[in-house]
Structure 1
Amino acid sequence: MIGRLAAPLFLFCVIEGFIHTHNRKKYFLKIYSLAIVMGLIQFGFYNFLHPLVRPDGFFPQNMMLSSFAILLVALQGITWIQEKKYLKGIPTLLFPLLLPWLMVTFYLSAQDKPILMFILNLLNFTVLPTHTSISDGGTWLLLTGIAMYLCHKNLKKEVLAFLSVSLVWVLMAIVLSRPSFHDLMFKYIEWMEIFAAPLMLCYNGQRGKGSKYLFYVFYPTHIYLIYALSVIFYR
């Protein structure tokens, strides 16, 4: 359950960071750069880092930062639209939403062309991630983040937006997959993210103490460090 709280709280903090940062371009580039590096590592596990894959086939597939980079582009588009800068805002909002379908046309043309397919996959894992191809956040995070941002001036409404989108998403999954009660408790535990709502409501609108750069070091480091330890103990 603790793990399921992390993603929505992470999302909440990223939205707050976007709203309050003094330099949105720099804020985006920091997250985007880390997303590219982590995406490149994941691409490597699929293609040329096979010796580093754990014997059971597991390797880190964390692309949450790519999901946040996509969201930040959409939020900037919404901001420009709210400022009536429609020529910039509408394309900026639509680009991350429609990119998956644009990429499909390229993938279709790359059939039986291994080099082109390799390049497209590399782009998709690094500089051109698509929300439909990311299991770590992806479409759910994009839609939830947009809903929360549109309500961010009122904390209760923002949290309600989070709960509403999350519950719709979870109910869709339950209807489509029809999991058992046991699976809901121990396998399909995404619904537990709703328990992040009370923690969001505790936010007082003030910046907390601590280094603002700590996250950028801690997030990727703890993932690969824990993975390295798991490989050692697995063997």
Structure 2
Amino acid sequence: MLVETIRGKGLTNFDIKLLGITLMVIDHIHEMFALAGAPNWLDWFGRPVATIFMFLTVEGFTHTQNLRRYLARLLIGFWVMEIGNLIVQHFFSLGRFELINNIFCDLFLGVLTMFAIQLIVAGKRHHQISKIFIGVSIIVVPFILSGLFVVLMQSGLGREWSFLMLVVPTPLFAENSIFLYLGPVMYLCRKHRSWQMVSIAVAALLSTGFNFSSLLVNNTQWLMILAIIPLAFYNGQLGKSMKGFFYGFYPVHIWSLYILASLLGVRG
């Protein structure tokens, strides 16, 4: 009955978000309680999550009526998450386990890159060199800053300049690193759902490093390909909004699981 309903009506933006956060909670239960015996296969559920939310940012960017506000929400989410992680770890501990979760970094850089692509396309169409230059700069600068942070850390100045890493999102310190740019790739393919699905499959293949002997053991990231299943049923409809809930749920559930694990004596 459920499968028939999905086939008939498809999944709304809201439905896919609900699925995404459900899978995310399962994944983070494994992350926080793996040392307490949480089975490794729980990690499999989380592999499609980042891809799902990258796809949804493409939809958000394409349909937003206020891009500045959209980018501001993601950037503020990044700041809140970074500061919150530090505060939580100041009062609670899982031993050597460090709380570094911050998907807002990936999503902000992804949407910012989509904006850069939009500028470059508009600049080429209207022969405006300034727009092309700004667009290219927006894409390149985060990589330059990543390199700068690496140099500072290697020079022993990382601690003095670490505050920059808390306020400036860079791909090097993003959860998904270079794979965050799957979002902009899906944006380029936004008029062709099948090509978006192909891009996910290609990213999943690349994530294996072409080492197929350790799949499901040492490397499960390729399971991101499972994101294709719900996204193939996306009907393009928004559904319920509940924007504040989804923005708030991410940090709250991570901090809650971390604190619970700490109180139960889990140690890394």
TM-score range, shorter chain: 0.7 to 0.9
Q: Which residue of 2 aligns with 1:99?
A: 145
Deviations 1:17-59 (A, max 9, x none): 111111111011111111112122345577xx2x5112x4324
Deviations 1:71-98 (A, max 9, x none): 2221111110011121321211222233
Query: Does the 8 A contact of 1:74 with 1:94 survive in 2?
Result: no
Residue 135 (structure 2) pairs with residue 89 (structure 1) = yes
* Cα distance between partner residues in 2 of 1:129 and 1:44: 19
Once superposed, which parts of structure 1, at least 4 consecutive aligned residues long, lie more than 4 Å away? 43-46, 105-108
Residue 184 (structure 2) pairs with residue 146 (structure 1) = yes
Q: Spell out the pairing of 1:42-121 with structure 2 (5 A cutoff).
A: 42-43=85-86, 49=90, 51-54=91-94, 56-84=95-123, 85-107=131-153, 111-112=155-156, 116-121=157-162
TM superposition score normalised by structure 1: 0.82
Deviations 1:171-227 (A, max 9, x none): x2x43xx753xxx22442111110111211111111122412211111111111111
* Cα distance between partner residues in 2 of 1:72 and 1:119: 30
Aligned length: 216
Deviations 1:71-129 (A, max 9, x none): 22211111100111213212112222333224344445xx35xxx532422211x2223
* Cα distance between partner residues in 2 of 1:104 and 1:121: 11
Residue 28 (structure 2) pairs with residue 28 (structure 1) = no
Aligned identity (percent) is 27
Q: Which has the higher contact order (CA 8 A, sep 6+)?
A: 2
* Cα distance between partner residues in 2 of 1:162 and 1:121: 33
Query: Does the 8 A contact of 2:111 with 2:184 survive in 1?
Result: no
Change in 2 beyond 3 A, CA 1:121/1:208:
same
SS of residue paired to 1:234: coil
In structure 2, runs of 5+ residues without a counterpart are 1-43, 124-130
Computed over aligned residues only, the root mean square deviation of the Cα atoms, in angstroms, reads 2.2
* Cα distance between partner residues in 1 of 2:252 and 2:224: 24
Change in 2 beyond 3 A, CA 1:98/1:169:
farther
Change in 2 beyond 3 A, CA 1:43/1:131:
farther
* Cα distance between partner residues in 1 of 2:251 and 2:88: 15
TM superposition score normalised by structure 2: 0.73
